Amino acid sequence: MSTRLSWVLLIVWAVTLLAAMLAYGQRQLSVFDPEGSLLYASTYPDFDHRVVSLLRNHGITGASIVHVGTQSQCYCEWLTTAHQTQLSNRLDSAQYRIAQVTIETLPALQQLLPSIPALIVIDDNNQLRYLGPYSTGYGCFTGKTLVEEIAAYTTQRPYTGAVINTDAEGCFCPSST
C-alpha cells in the first residue's frame, strides 16, 4: 500500500470517528427544563417557601445540599458524583449536610423538576439558595461545572433570593417515567 493511500485512509478514519463522536454527543445533550415548567413555577411568589416546606416535611432541614435522583437507571446521575464531592468540600461538610432523595418518593417535587439529576441547596436560615443542575455540557463532565457559582450563591450575603437555573443543556434524564 502506498504512503499516500495510507494517509488518506487515516484521515478518513479520523474524520469518521470524530463525526460519530459528535453525533453520539448530540444525542446525550438535553435541555434541563424543555417545556419551561420549572421556570413558570418559579415565578410564583411562594415558590421558594413551597420547595423548602416540601423538603422539611421529608425531614430535610436547613444547611442542606440535596441531591435529587431517581430509583431507575439514569446514567447522568452517576456523572454528578464528582460535583457532589466538590460542592460538599467547597461548602464545608461540617456546616452543610448532604441529603439524597429520589424523585419517586416526593411526587410534588417530581411535578416541579422536569429533569434529574438536580441539586437543591438550602442555607442555614432555611432559605432556598439554588435549584437546578450541577453542570452543563456533554455528559456533564466535559462542559461547565457550576460548583463555584452554586457555592457563591449559597454564601452570598445579604440574601437576595434563590437562583433557579432552568437554562441549561447537558446530560439529564426526564424526571417523569
Average pLDDT (77-104) is 80
User: Tell me: the pLDDT tens digits for 97-139?
Assistant: 889 999 999 888 888 999 999 999 999 899 999 999 988 876 5
pTM: 0.79
143 pLDDT above the threshold of 70: no
CB neighbour list of residue 142: distance below 8 Å, 6 or more residues apart: none
| C-alpha dist (Å) from residue 105 to 68, 111, 155, 175 | 10, 12, 29, 12
pLDDT in tens, 6-31: 888 878 887 877 766 555 554 568 89
Rounded mean pLDDT of 84-93?
Answer: 76
pLDDT number for residue 140: 47
To the question of domain 32-174 being in CATH 1.10.287.370, the answer is no
- The average confidence (pLDDT) of the chain is 84
> How many CB atoms sit inside 10 A of residue 61's CB?
13
Dump pLDDT digits (tens) for 30-72.
Answer: 899 999 999 999 999 999 999 999 999 999 998 999 999 888 8
In angstroms, the CA 78 to CA 86 distance is: 14
